[in-house]
Amino acid sequence: MEKVATMDRYIANFSEQLSEAYAIGQKIEIKNIHQPIKNILVCGLGGSGIGGNIVKCLVKNELSVPFDVSKDYNIPKYVNRETLVIISSYSGNTEETISAMEQAIVQEAQIFCITSGGKVTEVAKKRNIDYVTVPGGMPPRTCLGYSFVQQLFVLHHLGFIDYDFQSDLLSTINLLDREEGAIQKEAKEVAANLHNKIPVIYIDSEMEAVAVRFRQQLNENSKILCWHHAIPEMNHNELVGWRINDDRLCVILLRNKTDHERVQQRMEINKEVFKKYTPHITEVNSKGETQMQRMFYHIHLGDWISFYLAELRKVDAVEVDVIDYLKGALAKS
């Protein structure tokens, strides 16, 4: 049963969640995972899976082993006893993730679970698999902080990252608290620009996970379709698709002062192309001195945008009836 709360309360409490996740992570115990580990796979979907994408963006230049994220029933054949599989299922009952966990067990992977309970916890206890329990009862998409932070603690505990992510996390929390008013103000303005439009989100490929998160929040909270792409890859295919005048389209450029110099140039040139086909172009610049700060500034801003757009559309940002219908129909088969 989900706690009775409105989406704005969940979003407003995000920095508190990060702080709580930090406290939980400091107490993580890992007893059954041993070196060597030659690759890492995070298994999770939706709000439980996006944390893996964000971690990958953040630490890929720190890691000396491959790091992948799987959002499927099946896992790659390469997974074996030298693979760390992180199972991320907030509810603990995500059927695709449970399937992946069962395969990881068969393929003798070393497993760590992040969950609030459910079948994942049951299997972990039965199989003597390490796990951490996070607070339950909320929509998974509002619990990004729990999965993201626990993954960082696991990677640090096992020696895969050595940068001071804990100080980075605390400074990120301080940034979000300090900028909360400004973030909400800007979110309302951007939401107004997006009302009755189809958002087209672009970002530097180094931070693509942030755009994925924003798209997902617009889908689930605002109940709209939209799409995203990353630059420079977008310039090698999607740019050619800009051929039809359509003022329903609203381009959103998620920008950072540390974006690759050539990507910044590409964005400026791309804007000239977009202007030929839509008058609606919105640029959003992150704040922060570290990549984590900039990523979570964009993420928190995007969450607020999705809420304010839901208000403009007069829809319940929490409701996901169609997903509940899908799960019910699958349960009958």
Catalytic residues: 220, 236, 327
Residue 38 DSSP code: -
CA 196 → CA 41, 199, 210, 221, 226, distances in Å? 39, 9, 23, 15, 12
Paired strand residues for 198 = 249
Q: At what angle do helices 14-25 and 144-157 cross, to 10 degrees?
A: 30
Per-position DSSP letters for 289-305, written without gaps between them: SSHHHHHHHHHHHHHHH
Contact 118, 91 (CB under 8 A): yes
Beta-sheet pairing, 83-89 with 281-285:
unpaired
Per-position DSSP letters for 132-178, written without gaps between them: EE---SS-GGG-HHHHHHHHHHHHHHTTS--S-HHHHHHHHHHHHHH
Q: Strand, coil or helix: what is 65?
A: coil
Paired strand residues for 89 = 115
Contact 258, 289 (CB under 8 A): no
Q: What are phi and psi of 19, to 5 degrees?
A: -65, -40
Q: In whole angstroms, what is the distance from residue 101 CA to residue 73 CA?
A: 9
Furthest-apart CA atoms within the chain: distance in Å: 60
Contact 150, 29 (CB under 8 A): no
Contact 94, 83 (CB under 8 A): no
Residue 326 DSSP code: H
Q: Which pair of structure tokens corresponds to residue 165?
A: 């992510």
Cis before 232? omega within 30: yes
Beta-sheet pairing, 130-133 with 227-231:
unpaired
Q: In whole angstroms, what is the distance from residue 212 CA to residue 201 CA?
A: 9
